[in-house]
Each structure stands twice: as C-alpha cells, then as structure tokens.
Amino acid sequence: MRRVIACLGLLAIVLGWGVDDPLQQRVSYDKPAQTLKALLRDLSAQTNLNLYAAPPLDAEIVLVAVQEMPLKELMAHLAYVVDGEWIAEGEGQHRLARTPKVIAKRRQEDREQTLAALREMLASEEFRRYLEPLTREEVVERVERIRKQLREIATEEREYESLWIFHHNLRAKEWEPLDSQRRLLCRILQQMDLNALAEIPLWERRVFSNMSGRYLLPLRVNLAPLLQRWQTEREAFDSVLTSLRHQFTESDKQAMDYFWWDVEIPDAQSPPERRMPTKVYLEAQRVDSKAGFLFTLYLVDEAGRVLASTQYPLRVVWEGEERWLEQQIREDPTLAKLVEWREETRQWLQAWTVLDSRGEVKPFPELLDPAKHEPLRFVATDALRSYARHRSLSLVALPDDRLLLWRADPSGKPQPLARVMTSRNWLHMSVVEGVLRVKPRASSLYWGRRESREAMSRWIQRIVERGYITLEDAFDVANHRLLAERYMLALVPGHISFMPDAFRPVLPLLKRWAREAEAHPEGEFQLPLGELAPTQLPQLERIVYNHPHAGVVPKGQAFVRASRLTGLPVPLPHAHLPDGLPRDALLHCTIEKTPGVLTERSGVGVWGRFSRTRWLQRVFQNEGESEPILVEERERIQNSLLLPAQREQIGLSVRFSPTHELMLLSRVGFEAWGYRPTQGLKPIRWEQLPPEWLKPPDPQKASEDP
C-alpha cells in the first residue's frame, strides 16, 4: 500500500511539473506569412515567454497555422523549417539561432541529398537509354518515322499551338535519341566523381576538362574508348542522313528548321568531315530545377573550334497545359481542390488590375508596396494554407521568394491548387505528426537570398515618380531579381530585364563604367584590366568563370550563341583563358542608343513597350501591306499616346585577342536596358512624330501620306 501511495505521489509531482513547464502550454496561431521576428513576438505575448531570433534570421518569412499545439512542438517545427536550433538563455528566454552545428549538419544533409539526386538521375530509365549503343538500324528506324510524320502533318490544317506541340514532341521522342554527343556526355557522367558536382554553388558553373588550367577541373575519365565509340556512332548517323534513300527533303528541312531551329542536319551533297576532338570540356551548371544540374559537353579541335556539342537533361515531351495539370493531379489529388482566397488576397489581386489598366493614371496601390505589405502573405499564403487544410494538417512553412511567382486569376475566383502551385519542385514538403512542414529543397543553398522589400519599394517609387525606367534602374534588378520579375511587366509595359544577380558585387563599378561610356562621343569606354583595383579583378573573374552566360564570341558578334556552334570558337572562357584574365586585356563598355517611341503607359503612369524608329518606318511606309501584324501595329500606334524616347542598352565585354572577345552583358540581350525621353514627358499623337518616321523615302510619294 505504501508503495502504491509513493507511486501516486511521484506521478502527481511529474504531472505537476508538466503543467508548470511553460513549453508544454498549448498555443493556437493562424496568420498570413510574416517575419519570424513578428511571429515570435506574438508567441511571446501569448505564452509570457521571451522568444526571439537573432539577425539576420529574424527577417526570414514564415507561415504558421496551428491549433492547440504544445509550444515545444511548434518550436521544434520552426527550428526545422528555418534551419536553426533553440538556445535556452535563462528563465523564460529562448533564442532561435542558426548555429555552426546546425549549419554543418544542414550542409552535409543537403550535400547527401544532392548526391542521392545525381545517383537517381544516373539510374533513371531516360539516362540509361543514352548509355546504349546507337546503331545504324536505330537511326534508320527513327529517321523514317520522322519523315513519315513530317509528311503526314504537312497535309493537315492545324493551329500554330498544335503544330508547335507536334514538332516539339516529335523532336523529343525521335530526334533527340539520335544525338551521339549526348550518349558520350552520359557515359562521361556515369564515370565522373559525383562529389565534385555536389560542391558547385547554386546558379554557378564549373568546367571539367582533359586540359589543364587554374579555372579547369580535371576530368578524371578514360576518354579514349568513349571518343572512339562516339565517332563510330556519329559515322552511323551521318551515313544514314546523307544517303539518298533516307535523306530529308527540302520541305522536311524547312519545317525542322522553323520549329526545331537549332538542329544541324548533315548535307548529302557535302558530307561533313568528322575529326576526333583533342579537347573535351564539360560544363556543369547548378540550377534549381528538379534535376539540379544542366550539363553541356563541347568537343573541340586543336584550334579551339567546336566540332560538336550537346546538353543533358534534354527537352521533355509536352502534351499541353491541360494534360500537364491532369498529370499533377494524378500524382497528388489534393491539387484538384480549390484555393480558399481571403478577402485581403482578393483586394491584393484587384490592386494589380490598376497597373494593368490603360486609362486614367492612378496612384500606385499602397497594398502592392512590398515594404508595407509582405507579398508572400497573399497568394502563397492562401495556396499553402488551403493545401494543408484540404489534407487536415497543421502548417509550419518557410516560403522562399520563388513563391512570389505563383500567380492567381485577378478576379479572385476559385482556382484549383494545381493552377496556382506551379513549379513545386524546389519545395521540400513533409508531414510529421499531422503537421505539413514546407521549406526550400536543399535549403542551405538559399540562405541569405531573401530579397529586400525596402529596397524594392524604393526602386518602384523611383520608377513611378519618374514615369519610365532608366538603365540604372535595370542594373538594380540584380539586387532583387524575383521581386522585379513579379512587378516588372505590370509596372513597365512590355519591359523585361534579366540583370544577373552575379553582377551584384560590381554594380557600383558597372554604373560608373556606363556613365563614362555614355559621356564619350562614341558611346564606349575602355579600361585595361591592369588598372582595376586588387579586389576588383577577382570579382570580375568570379563573374567570367562562374556565371553561366559569360561566353567567348568572334569579335563584333553581339551575343553568345546557344546553338549551331559547329565551326565556331568554343564559348567557354575557361578554354581560351584557363589561367585567368590577362592584365593587358581591355574591359570594353558600350552604351547603344536607339531612337523610337514608348507606346504604352501602365495604370500608374509608367511608360513602356518601346518601338524603334526602323520598326515604325516599316509599319507606316508599307501601309498597303495587309500582313496582320503590320495592320494591328498601325492601328495600335494610331490609337495610342506616344512618348519619343531613346533606348539605352549596355554591352560589356573583355577584349583579349584580335579575333575574339569575352561577352559579359550583351548589347542586344535582355540583361539591362532603359529609356531616356527625348522631348520631355508630354505625350504626342502619331501624326506629330518626325515626318521621316512616317513617310516613304521617295519624295514623290511623300504628299500622299497623311
């Protein structure tokens, strides 16, 4: 009896401690996405504890929806999604921190996850298909199927979209498997040390090669038998494509050239000369797709010219958006459920229609200011909360900024989750004891990438106050790429700017170089690399060798070609300058100025949709033409207010030889361009444009023009 009483007494003490333990108290919380600092402040007030996170972790955005959950359990889920751990600092005080221990553990786990994904890729059916030998029989079978389907489709009347899907899938199913270079690439990847790939940071590249250099990693693969096998397969491919029996007709080639555009078909009249490459370069880019990497193989001769090139992973079969949605729902039936929009989100979606309107100019909606209203508290919040509720789960999430690109119907009408929660491959979603936990996949790669809402707000305000976007505004996109992508097209009609965030460390330099180029009569500025400060050259080299889009081109070419590289210099700077940039090379900055008009103004008064003078001349000097695009453009311009302006676009390259230059920013690309009005901000009608823009050059016809 005494033993029973003692046990009951001990149980009472234990239960008493449980009740008195403040971390066991139950909490309920359900608010839209907000900073971790704000969440912990609310939880502290609810629990009479002092819960906080140290900067910069406190600025992370989190989303919590729980009911009657023990505080300790919620704290554990929060620590998981933000990659932190709680540190007790005294009675009732707990700090959430990303400690060295957690950092090391998370990075190791992400590295193992990357290696597992690479092994899964190597074991996949698609990859293993490219390890099989390419025989002449397979080439004949696939070529004949392509020829048959091309001739069948030529007799059908189809809309463009249907025709595009047909050609896309025909290429993916039948032509891509004939790529002997891709088979070589896959065989090389099969033998590579995957650990070297796992070390590549997100959005950077590394180049492996049988050549040596400071910026080349060793390709530790026995290439000789692989190249011999490649040559045999390439000869089989060429022999079929150049034979009279199996060659494509001119109409076949025209269709393939139009829809496939980067396919190289051997010519039966002049069969290609195939030589064994002496140099092999494998470029590995770390991306945030499901595969995690994009591999490009270049086979190069002694003179540095491309003999053949290819990529992996390859394009996939596309059955159209509806089929894609059906596939998503089959994999996860919850995605068929509807998003439950809050009234606040409907108002936010409605505010976007102000920017899209083309009538009276209105003030920029305060609800869209990212510094005042966290953008992730709307569409991303409602989508994730709806998904969790439909599965009867609590929710603890760290929505990263890529969820800014989830979009919804501006009307706020109910939509299936599958239409909103697109591109989910970058999310890691797990369910633990009735809680849906959401965080970025391989989350350590995204630490420190949260974009400044305050800086974006100032960027928007400058553009709205000015009424147009400048080149300097376009440079600043590098500071907040995802936010700019979310706001850009609505704020500045027809304007796209993809200023790479890799240039962020050199933005002050870039702005200075642009100003100096603009001040020069020829619009260009040159600087020997030897005159850069000791810290600036390494910054430039990091961009040159690690940024995937920096490439070598023949001197005078405006951009780096992505296809049909055969016979051209290999675009990798690692191949031409393997040990770094020479100090006597010249940094060459140009500002290309193009006259024209801005033809559209957003609902908040920002001008965009630039039409250059040469395009206007074509539109108005050929008024007899009935080509639909010209008719539509004439009507649009004649019914629009116009703002004469000059487009300013930067080109940045390094000139290191008489024949080649290293392109960093293309003067005809979408990296950075802005405008400068030439006649003030007062809009005009098309009749008020300079006569030479509207009238044909023949003076005898000038009097006939309106």
Give pLDDT tens digits for 536-554. Answer: 999 999 999 999 889 999 8
For the segment 334-345, what is each residue's pLDDT rounded down to a tens digit? 999 999 999 999
441, 442, 430: which is closest to 396 by C-alpha? 430
Write out the two tokens for 563: 């296809």
73 within some domain: no
451, 336, 456: which is closest to 399 by C-alpha? 451
Q: Compare 616 and 316 and report the one with higher pLDDT.
A: 616
Using CB atoms within 10 A of its CB, is residue 542 exposed (0-12), middle (13-18) or buried (19+)? middle
pLDDT, position 231: 95
15 within some domain: no
259 within some domain: yes
276 within some domain: yes
Q: Is the pLDDT at 698 greater than 80, yes or no?
A: no
User: Rounded to whole angstroms, how far apart are CA atoms 601 and 468?
Assistant: 9
80 within some domain: no
What's the farthest any 2 CA atoms get from each other in the chain?
122
pLDDT, position 90: 86
Distances (CA, A) of 592 to 162, 464, 514: 39, 24, 11
Average pLDDT over residues 587-615: 94
* Cβ–Cβ under 8 Å, residues 241 and 265: yes
* Lowest mean pLDDT across 166-180, 255-269, 387-401: 255-269
Q: Is the pLDDT at 701 greater than 50, yes or no?
A: no
Amino acid present at 1:
M
Write out the two tokens for 95: 């700090």
Residue with the two structure tokens 């595009």: 164
For the segment 50-100, what is each residue's pLDDT rounded down to a tens digit? 999 989 999 999 999 999 999 999 999 999 999 999 999 988 999 999 999
58, 45, 130: which is closest to 92 by C-alpha? 45
Q: Is the dihedral of CA 462, 345, 354, 483 positive or negative?
A: positive
The last residue of one of the domains, among 289, 313, 337, is 313
pLDDT, position 269: 64
* Cβ–Cβ under 8 Å, residues 564 and 542: no
The last residue of one of the domains, among 291, 313, 335, is 313
Average pLDDT over the chain reads 89
* Cβ–Cβ under 8 Å, residues 23 and 70: yes
675 within some domain: yes
Count the domains in the chain: 2
Residue 187 DSSP class: H
Q: Is the pLDDT at 1 greater than 60, yes or no?
A: no
Write out the two tokens for 319: 């059955």
217 within some domain: yes
Confidence class for position 9, pLDDT limits 50, 70, 90: very low
Amino acid present at 295:
F
The last residue of one of the domains, among 252, 287, 313, is 313
Q: Is the dihedral of CA 350, 356, 362, 367 positive or negative?
A: positive
Confidence class for position 634, pLDDT limits 50, 70, 90: confident
User: Rounded to whole angstroms, how far apart are CA atoms 666 and 559?
Assistant: 5
Residue 608 phi, psi (nearest 5): -160, -160
pTM of the model: 0.89
User: Rounded to whole angstroms, how far apart are CA atoms 353 and 330?
Assistant: 33
pLDDT, position 426: 83
Confidence class for position 7, pLDDT limits 50, 70, 90: very low
5 within some domain: no
* Structural domain containing residue 577: 453-693
pLDDT, position 493: 93
pLDDT, position 331: 92
